Chain A
Amino acid sequence: MESEPKKETEVAPALIAVHPDQSSVAVAVGPHLRVFDLLAGSAASLIDDSDAVPFHKDNIRAIRFGASGKLLVSAGDDKTVKVWSTQSWRCITTVSSEKRVTAVAVSNDGTFVCFADKFGLVWVVDLDPPLRDKKPAPLLSHYCSIITSLEFSPDGRFILSADRDFKIRVTNFPNKPLNGAHQIQSFCLGHTEFVSCLAFIQSQECPQGLLVSGSGDSTVRLWDITSGALLDTCEVAIKAGLLESNGKAEEHGHAVTDLCTIQDGLLVAVAIQSLQGIVLLNCNVSAQTLSLAKVVSVAGEAFVPTCLGSSSSTGKLWMVTGVSNLPGCNNPSLARVRVISGIDVKQEPVVLEDDNIPGREKLLETLQGTASVDDNVFLAAAEAVKAAMCNLLIKKQYPSENREYRKKSRNDRKLKG
């Protein structure tokens, strides 16, 4: 048998999260969590005096602001979930997970933090009373599947979990979630590849929200979560010109990687593997349809966003591209931040120059680690992230030719005598 391959540190995409009031922006690359305080105009100093694991020791896989911006949650491969106060920037709670964490969500009132692990389990932690170390309770499970996204519905009634087996599960979030969430409301089934991201569209006409999801099948879909009904499908990769409309079903590499709703959800920004920029979609709430609004390209540099963020009603979309541990690269943490403003049904979106973004150079220095970036390396970064995502989430197809060869070490196949 071949010897075990040397364990390499995994390539992880850069992440971005924006405070609901846009008072701060956070970027995570590898184990580094960087926050820029836009009100103060300087980097926020994070304080973590946890005994067990101060700061993160391995790739951060999820960050988000919660509870109307009072909390920032970060979690990842070091099997911890950290909850930070956005007033003091102090880590108020560290939760240990048995497995690597792939997604986090915060209940609307900030009482509960939910996180999902690589084996399909979703856990819940009660933040009240605030304690330094918390033990999580199991909430629900997607059997042997990787959970890619967790979201609470806008009215807080449901918790949604999406997985790599093409499913989205909508579960009633109970009054006592520590006893588990057993009542499934619906399954949103229709994607033909892993589901990668979820977001909610809210409007006056639809206060309980419509769900949008992005997937490895290169589509964005619109759902009614109460019934699980698929309302509309938008083939974004085809619309963005990345794929032919009769493209081979087997062709991968145009997965939707992230989604973000802007302007109270009338617009949805979509990031797709291989697209240097984003696709903007319109949602018609009464007709329950999605349509292409615009493709916004980032000119002048290779920029394939790995993560998107926005604060409602500023009309600005924040994007980051980057990766940790890129093979052959000196810098273990690469990140580049760009902002698109004017995302409005009435205006024309504009990709802002570095001087014009909120926080300007100081913000870029803090979040990117450096103000100026080497452009060439980001193409390689995008490829590395694409490969990592496919390896993780797409089922391997083993050819039937050498099946006997692969099974030869199985006990019941070994030659006797």
Chain B
Amino acid sequence: MSETEVNPTISKSTGLPRKRFYRARAHSNPLSDSHFPVPISPSHVDYSLHYPQLFPSSGQADSSKKIQFADVGCGFGGLLISLSTLFPETLMIGMELRDKVTEYVKERILSLRVANPGKYQNVSVVRTNSMKYIPNYFEKGQLSKMFFLFPDPHFKEKNHRRRVISPFLLDEYAYVLEVGGIIYTITDVEELGDWMKSCLENHPMFEALTEKELEADPVVKLLCSATEEGQKVARNGGQTFQAVFRRIAPSDQTS
């Protein structure tokens, strides 16, 4: 018998991929020049590849519908799966650096699409380094939501520059987010939580959501509960630190 018949990578009962065959290191070197294809510009992103039912041919250039949610560092895809049914009319994508984890999410989405006809057609994943290539995927003001859930803390001070939320990278996230768009961040590492909050507070193009606004947003509750990482933290009784900010127009155009 072949290896895959004895130990199938896709579970026969649920039809979903089994995580143990997509085991990966928790870290991937964001500084290395991995060789995955990068679209030359946002108009080169192949929507028919990611959303085949919604974009039957690859000539999608004229389509008015564009990706609006991006989960940066989507991991095993927990948040995206929840968002897909909560926002069925919105196109969303996960970005993940790790090869095997991206494969897992791909398989997961494909299996869900088969098992639930008509559903999960609006969600996809791409293997890429979002710290270098976000402007290649999204046009100015294209996104209405961006997610950074439990990012790598990079504890050592000399590695802080590798953090996915930084004063410099926020310039790029502000560029792809529309005015009024929301950036969601959460972590179980207090120091990182303080760091992310402080970067956002000090950036002229972001302002914090009020308590009332946070209460009213159904997505906020998903930050802790929807992902594998968040569920693990809850199981261990850990605390989480979130920072949710809105993209604003800078007060003085040239300040």
Contacts and interface: CB of A to CB of B under 8 A. Distances in A.
Contact of A189 (B131, B136, B169, B252): B136
A190 B254 contact: no
A140 B174 CA distance: 13
A158 to B, nearest CB: 11
Interface in A127-151: 138, 140-141, 143-145
Contacts of A157: 254
A395 B205 contact: no
Contacts of B103: none
A183 interface: yes
A408 interface: no
B131 A143 contact: yes
Contacts of B167: 138, 180
Contacts of B25: 412
Given A174-B254, A182-B174, A145 B132 contact: yes
A383 B31 CA distance: 29
A166 B38 CA distance: 11
A169 B134 CA distance: 13
B140 A186 contact: yes
Contact of B40 (A179, A189, A395): A189
B254 A182 contact: no
B205 A144 contact: no
Contacts of A140: 168, 171
A192 B41 CA distance: 10
Interface in B12-49: 25, 30-31, 33, 35, 40-42
Interface residues of B, number: 30
B169 to A, nearest CB: 6
Given A143-B131, A165-B132, A412-B25, A184 B171 contact: yes
A228 B140 CA distance: 10
Given A141-B168, A145-B132, A165-B132, A182 B41 contact: no
Interface string A147-191: 000000000010000000111010111111001111110110110
B168 A143 contact: yes
A396 interface: yes
Contacts of A189: 40-42, 135-136
A87 interface: no
A3 interface: no
B204 A182 contact: yes
A245 interface: no
Contacts of B100: none
Given A144-B30, A174-B254, A174-B255, A182 B135 contact: no
A183 B205 contact: yes
B171 A190 contact: no
Contacts of B42: 189
B175 interface: yes
A192 B40 contact: yes
A397 interface: yes
B174 A184 contact: yes
A396 B135 CA distance: 23
A395 B132 CA distance: 14
B238 interface: no
A184 B172 contact: yes
B113 interface: no
B203 interface: yes
Nearest to B131: A143
B140 A176 contact: no
Given A165-B132, A189-B136, A172 B254 contact: yes
A371 to B, nearest CB: 45
A41 to B, nearest CB: 44
Interface string B140-162: 10000000000000000000000
A181 B175 CA distance: 12
Report which residue of A157, A167, A173 has the largest number of chain B beta carbons within 10 angstroms of its beta carbon: A167
B136 A144 contact: no
A397 B136 CA distance: 21
A144 B131 contact: yes
B118 interface: no
Nearest to B130: A143
Interface in A371-417: 395-397, 412
B132 A144 contact: yes
Interface in B160-205: 167-172, 174-175, 203-205
Contacts of B136: 189
Report which residue of B31, B140, B168 has the largest number of chain A beta carbons within 10 angstroms of its beta carbon: B168
A175 B254 contact: yes
Contacts of B170: 182
A169 B175 CA distance: 11
B250 interface: yes
Interface of B: 25, 30-31, 33, 35, 40-42, 131-133, 135-136, 140, 167-172, 174-175, 203-205, 250, 252-255
Given A171-B171, A184-B172, A412-B25, 14 more contacts: A121-B168, A138-B167, A140-B168, A143-B168, A144-B131, A144-B132, A175-B252, A181-B171, A182-B174, A182-B205, A183-B253, A189-B136, A190-B41, A396-B33
11 contacts: A141-B168, A141-B169, A143-B169, A167-B135, A172-B254, A180-B167, A182-B203, A182-B250, A183-B171, A183-B205, A184-B174
The 10 closest A-B pairs by CB, nearest first: A141-B168, A189-B41, A184-B175, A187-B135, A395-B33, A143-B131, A182-B171, A174-B254, A175-B254, A143-B132
